[in-house]
Structures are given as C-alpha cells and as structure tokens.
Amino acid sequence: MKEYFRLVRLLKPYRHLLVLSFFLILLFSVCNAASIYLSIPLLKTLFTSSASDVTSIPATGLFNELRHSVDTYIFVGGDKYSALVKVCVLLLAAYFLKNVFAFLQSILTQYVEKSLINDIRRRMFHKFNSLSLRYFNERRSGDIVSRFITDVNAIQNTVYVTFTDIIKQPVLIITFLTLAFLISWKLTLIAIISVPLSMLVIFYLGKKIKKYSIRVQEKLGEFTSVISENIYGGKIIRAFSMEDFENKRFDIKLKDYFRSLIKSAIYVNMNRPITEIVSVALGVFIIWYAGREIFAGGTLAPEEFIGFLLIIFQLMVPVKDLSTVSNRIQESYASAKRIFEIIDAKPEIYDSENAIDKKEFENSIELRDVYFRYNSEDRVILEDINLKIKKHENIAIVGLSGAGKSTLVDLLPRFYDPQIGEILIDGVNTKDISLKSLRNLFGIVTQEIILFNDSIRNNISFGRDDIPISQIVMAAKNANAHDFIELTEDGYDTIIGDRGIRLSGGQKQRIAIARALLKNAPIMILDEATSSLDTESESLIQEAIEKLLQNRTSIIIAHRLSTIRNADRIIVINDGRITASGTHDELMHGSESIYKRLYEMQFG
Ligand code: ATP
C-alpha cells in the first residue's frame, strides 16, 4: 500500500482539478439519484387512477418536503396526461445533467491521469540518465523498457481507480443508501449486510491477484529481454546459426508468461461472478421480504417498492466496483513498486557538496594506489595501479583481452569509482570536481561506436544545437568523414538508422572521431576498434586519429601497430596490474615478456 499512497501523493500538483472533479461527482450523484427517484412518480402516474393521495405525504424532514414539492408540482392542478409530460421533462433534464457532469468529470480525470503518467515517465527517464553504468550492468534492457511502457501503463489504472472508484463510488453509494433509507429503513438494513460478506471473498482473491500480477510483469520483462537481445544480436545469431536455440529460448519464456497470465486472469475474473452471486442472493431475500410487507398492507406502497428495487440494483454497480478496488490497486501495486525502484535508485556517482568546476587541464592525471572491482562479490579487476600521465603525453595501453584496459580508462571520467585509491587531475581528486566539468575534459571514442537514430549532423554535434554547420563540416573533414557523408542521400541530414545500421564499421568510427574532434577536449581517450578494416579505411582512420591527438593528452587502448609505435609511453597491463611501461624499443629489449608476446601475436 505504501507505493499506492506515494502515487496518490504525486497527484498533489493537480489538487485543484481533483477538487473540481469531486464537485462534479457530487453533482452527478445528485442528478443520478433524482433520475431514479423520478421513477416513483412515473409509476404512480401510470398505475394509480387519481392523484388525490399526493397531499397525504407528511411534509416533515427535508426529503419529505422535497418529495412533497416534486409530487405537488407533478400531480396538483392537472390531469394524468399533464403529470406524465411533467415527469418526462424532469426525467430528461435529470439524465441530461447527469451525463454532462459524468462526461466533464471523466475528461478531467483522464487529463490528470495522463499528466501523472507523463510526469512519472519524465522522472524515471531523468533519474535513469543520472545513474551510474553499474546500474545498467546489473539489469536487462528489456526489463527496464518494460518498466517504462507496461508498468507505467498499468498504474494509469490506479488514478482511475482512485478518482472513479474510491471517491465516486462511495458518494454514489451514500446517495443511493440515503434515498433507499428514506423509502424503507428496514429493507435498506438488510441490503447493507451484503457488503461485508462480499468483502471477505474479495480479500482472499486480492492476495492471489497481487501474487500473479507481480509474476506476469516479471515474465514479460524476461521475454522482452529475449526480443531485444535478438534485435541487437541479430547478426551474431545468424552467424552462429543460433536461430533454433533462440526460438526455443523465446518459446519457453513466452509459455511461462502465458501461464502466469492465465492464472492471473482466473483470479481476476473469479472476482465479479462471486461478488454477484453473493449480492443477488441477498437481493432475492429483500424481494421476498418486501413482497410480504406489501401483501400485509404495511407502510410500503408498491411503486415505492419498485423504486426501492431500482435503487438497490443501481447500488449494486458501485458496490461491485468498489469491491474490486483493492484488487485493482493490488494489480498496479506491483507495477508501482517496479517504477519506484527506478525513481528511488540512488546514483552512485554524483557531485560532492563542494565540487569545483575544472575548466582547464594543466599538468597531469594521476592514478594513486587504485584498486577496483565491479561488484563487491566479484574478483578484483584492477590492483595497485599507480600511473602518472603528463599533459600532451601520448599513452598506449596494451594487454591481453580482459586484462582491465577498458576498466582503467573508465575510471578517469568517473564512469565507475575505485574502491581504494584516488585519481587526481592537476592534483585535485576527481571526486572533488563537478561531474560535468570533469567529463568535459575528456573526448572519448569507444570501441563499440554508439550512434543514435538521428541525422549525421546531430550525431556529430551530439546535443549541441548552437554549433554552426561549418564547424561540423570542418570536424567531419578532419575525421575523413566528409566525403562519404556528401555521398549519402541527404548529406549531413541523412538519418543513419537504429544504432547507425546504415553505415559501415569504418564510417561509424570516423563519425565518432568527428564527434570527439568537435568536442575539442584536452584529454582524449580512444579505445581502438579491434575489428580489422580494409587498408584504405585503416589509413583514413589512422589519419583522422592523428589529427584527433594533435596537441592533446591521449590514452589509447591500442590495437594498431602505428599507434603503439607513435606512443610516448606504452603501459602493459596484465591481470589488472601494470607490469611494465616504456617506449616500444625499451619494452622490446627489456625483461618483461608479455609485451613482446603480444606484439608478435598481433603484428607478426
Ligand atoms: P578487451 O581488450 O577484451 O576489451 P580489457 O582489457 O579492456 O579487454 P575490461 O573490459 O577492462 O578488459 O575487463 C576486465 C575484466 O572485467 C574482465 O574480466 C571482464 O570480464 C570484467 N568486466 C568488464 N566489464 C564488466 C562489468 N560491467 N561488470 C562486471 N565485470 C566486468
């Protein structure tokens, strides 16, 4: 329930609209009650031969006075036909107003509901982008996407339930009960007994529904994950002929999902019939009891009894809806929980209170006694790292796959924080530098090039729309990307497709280099692509990289001979430790063997 109340609290900005909605509910209920009450004078007009008994109603109490005036208006001073016309006009007016109020109220509720959903998605997305990479490592993308779409849709229901059911239904019940009570208090008391009886059944079903709706969302997350893995990994799946395996994996997930859907549907659908059976049993008892009263010539007139029955039948609708409220809240409870998990996630990496803005890089980057592991249970990935890189130095990092090279460079812009040790830029701990200014010091070209489904121009300028096209073209020219961009359909405005699917590997790299060139950051981190390119692309990229590194400090995870040769210093990492450092010649002639082995392995 905690989550439900949190959702309700999120509605605070819309409280004025909700108060208005409440008044519309009240107006609706009054018109609704009036429309049902009018059936009594209607029946009287149709079935009694004279209107003489109208004045016999004692005019005591507000209701009776009101009833008296309505009856006087309808019946006194006219014949049966004019009474019929008056009742019809009143009925029409009551139904018209009731529907107008219902329409306005539901539009208002929908407006609040959709606005809340928008707010929640915005909050989730903004939070999501403030979280560290570790958060994403630990979760599947399909699961996160399904929280954004399915779970958020599921909680729409909560707003509807709150304003249409928790407020509207009780108001309706109270008006109906008051009306029924005024007609016959004995019969009304019997009717009231039905409510707690149905509640017991509903409580039990509610627990089951909660259990299965959590399971349904989990299973949905699992199978959407398989879908997104198959979209991103389409090429590799075909290359390894894994289609059958993936189909089987998907079928199993789908079957699990289906099974939990059906179980959940059984409990959800059991709810209404059971409530109805209990309520109808009591309804039939009332009919029997009232019939006895009328036959005995008691205080109840037949048209009043029919009016009373109509009220009770109408009363069943809000009672039934109200009885399923707790279930519907339970259903969205699971979703709310999954949404708040994102909204409440604590960013691990954030600005310290006294963080300074660091605009320039002046002297050096230093890693001091750094130890790092991804998760507390994981093995240590980096151990005892001590490294100082001076301004304008070009550093190449080499090592076997999985040695920890990418992890090491990820620590510099604080994608992760080391558990032990510190990283200093110009002597200032990176934790004391604002994240934005720290990351502005770095230009990064990752091994797997990340491009967005947008124009080439926007992929190079990357969110900075103040940059003139001339600068973008200049960066593209320096990255040797201009020529191929010109050949595309719409030049710089060409949309490159999901993840740049319409570009070759080498073209993507050159766009990424243009992006880094345009950012013009003083420190460049480059994770060279391992995939081999044809000689022409290779030399185009090499040329672009050279321009990128001019007058900059650079750290390159090197896979190319030329990069290693040109480096001022080569750092060898083995199993998370720096095992050697020096120039190519020094390392080739030194005692450390890994570099020589690596060199021979890669470059023959
Ligand atoms: P490569 O040359 O193959 O890219 P690398 O030297 O850059 O390798 P890293 O990517 O730094 O190696 O990985 C170092 C170790 O950390 C590997 O054993 C890897 O399995 C592990 N690792 C990498 N990323 C994560 C992560 N997000 N969560 C947990 N472990 C990780």
Pair 316, 434 in one domain: no
Q: What is the 3-state secondary structure (H, E, C) of 355-396?
A: CECCCCCCCEEEEEEEEECCCCCCCCCEEEEEEEEECCCEEE
Residue count of the chain, please give it.
604
- Count of domains in the chain? 2
User: Is there a domain that residue 469 lies in?
Assistant: no
Pair 153, 288 in one domain: yes
What pLDDT is recorded for position 143?
86
Pair 19, 112 in one domain: yes
Pair 26, 81 in one domain: yes
| Pocket lining: 458 vs ligand 1, CB cutoff 6 Å | no
User: Is there a domain that residue 460 lies in?
Assistant: no
Choose one of 137, 405, 412 to mutate for the ligand 1 pocket test, by most ligand atoms within 8 angstroms of C-beta: 405
Which regions of the chain are under pLDDT 50?
Answer: 51-52, 55-57
| Pocket lining: 129 vs ligand 1, CB cutoff 6 Å | no
Pair 291, 219 in one domain: yes
Closest C-alpha to ligand 1, atom 19? 402
Q: Which two tokens stand for residue 407?
A: 């992890």
User: Is there a domain that residue 323 lies in?
Assistant: yes
Q: Which two tokens stand for residue 551?
A: 């007058």
Pair 303, 396 in one domain: no
Lateral strand order in the sheet of 420-425: 382-390, 364-372, 420-425, 428-429
| Pocket lining: 221 vs ligand 1, CB cutoff 6 Å | no
Pair 424, 314 in one domain: no
Separation between Cα atoms, residue 162 and residue 168, nearest integer Å:
9
What pLDDT is recorded for position 365?
95
Separation between Cα atoms, residue 18 and residue 14, nearest integer Å:
6
| Pocket lining: 406 vs ligand 1, CB cutoff 6 Å | yes
Kindly report whether the global pTM for this prediction surpasses the value 0.85: no
Residue 601, judged by CB atoms within 10 A of its CB (0-12, 13-18, 19+), counts as: exposed
User: Is there a domain that residue 287 lies in?
Assistant: yes
| Nearest to 214, CA basis, from 316, 331, 46, 74 | 331
User: Is there a domain that residue 29 lies in?
Assistant: yes
User: Which residues, other chains included, contact 461 with Cβ-Cβ below 8 Å and sequence gap of 6+?
Assistant: 467, 472, 515, 518
Nearest atom of ligand 1 to the alpha carbon of 573: 6
- 287, 317, 343 — which closes off a domain? 343
User: Which residues, other chains included, contact 433 with Cβ-Cβ below 8 Å and sequence gap of 6+?
Assistant: 355, 356, 357, 358, 425
What pLDDT is recorded for position 55?
45
| Nearest to 165, CA basis, from 275, 32, 326, 316 | 326
Contact 363, 441 (CB under 8 A): no
Pair 300, 377 in one domain: no
What pLDDT is recorded for position 184?
82
CA of 219 to the centre of ligand 1 (A): 29
Choose one of 138, 376, 406, 572 to mutate for the ligand 1 pocket test, by most ligand atoms within 8 angstroms of C-beta: 406
Closest C-alpha to ligand 1, atom 10? 406
User: Is there a domain that residue 432 lies in?
Assistant: yes
User: Which residues, other chains included, contact 8 with Cβ-Cβ below 8 Å and sequence gap of 6+?
Assistant: 162
| Structural domain containing residue 83 | 2-343
Separation between Cα atoms, residue 542 and residue 538, nearest integer Å:
6
| Pocket lining: 374 vs ligand 1, CB cutoff 6 Å | yes
| Pocket lining: 404 vs ligand 1, CB cutoff 6 Å | yes
Q: Report which residue type is found at 381.
A: I
Separation between Cα atoms, residue 604 and residue 597, nearest integer Å:
10
| Pocket lining: 411 vs ligand 1, CB cutoff 6 Å | no
CATH number assigned to the domain comprising residue 191:
1.20.1560.10
Pair 112, 184 in one domain: yes
CATH number assigned to the domain comprising residue 566:
3.40.50.300
Pair 50, 178 in one domain: yes
Pair 80, 229 in one domain: yes
CA of 428 to the centre of ligand 1 (A): 27
Choose one of 378, 381, 416, 602 to mutate for the ligand 1 pocket test, by most ligand atoms within 8 angstroms of C-beta: 381
| Pocket lining: 402 vs ligand 1, CB cutoff 6 Å | yes
CA of 307 to the centre of ligand 1 (A): 76
| Pocket lining: 574 vs ligand 1, CB cutoff 6 Å | no
Q: Report which residue type is found at 210.
A: K
CA of 372 to the centre of ligand 1 (A): 12
- 273, 308, 343 — which closes off a domain? 343
Please give the C-alpha separations between residue 233 and each of 183, 314, 411, in angstroms, as whole numbers.
71, 56, 28
User: Which residues, other chains included, contact 174 with Cβ-Cβ below 8 Å and sequence gap of 6+?
Assistant: 29
- At 553 the three-state DSSP class reads strand
What pLDDT is recorded for position 233?
76
User: Is there a domain that residue 52 lies in?
Assistant: yes
User: Is there a domain that residue 531 lies in?
Assistant: no
Nearest atom of ligand 1 to the alpha carbon of 407: 11
Pair 217, 256 in one domain: yes
- 343, 374, 402 — which closes off a domain? 343
| Pocket lining: 133 vs ligand 1, CB cutoff 6 Å | no
What pLDDT is recorded for position 335?
86
